[in-house]
Amino acid sequence: MKILIVDDNKINVMIVRRYLEKWGYNFQIAGNGKEALEMIQAEKFDIILMDLNMPVMDGLEATYEIRKLPGCEFKQLPIIGFTSSTEKILEEKMYDAGFTDILQKPFLPEDLHEKIGSKKG
């Protein structure tokens, strides 16, 4: 399984990276949505872990653009959104943009592991 972490915050990336390494996942990192969009068109990823607030292109716009790409693999690609917001309207916007799941920050490692595991097959 190959995972793409999309986040501009080095601390957040370090935390997620530590757990993915511990669990034996293969992963790469993109610093913003535009970079992620370019990466997923160049190589196959099984899951995207996408932060919302990033420079250049935020997570909502990036997810929306991924879903518009030609090919069913981009329409079905699991995208788990990270947010610290508890606003229901933002959650609705995330699902409308094409996120398949949402994880509230700060999160428990078990919750991340469970969400990744539920997207495997």
List strand residue ranges (DSSP E) for 1-121, in order. 2-6, 26-30, 47-51, 79-83, 101-104
pLDDT string in tens for the chain (121-residue length): 999 999 999 999 999 999 999 999 999 999 999 999 999 999 999 999 999 999 999 999 999 999 999 989 999 999 999 988 777 788 899 999 999 999 988 899 999 999 998 876 5
State the total domains in the chain: 1
In terms of residue numbers, what domain contains 83? 2-118
CA 52, CA 30: separation in Å to the nearest integer? 13
Give the closest residue to 83 by CA, choosing from 64, 102, 65, 56: 102
Say if pTM beats, i.e. exceeds, 0.85: yes
CATH of the domain at 11: 3.40.50.2300
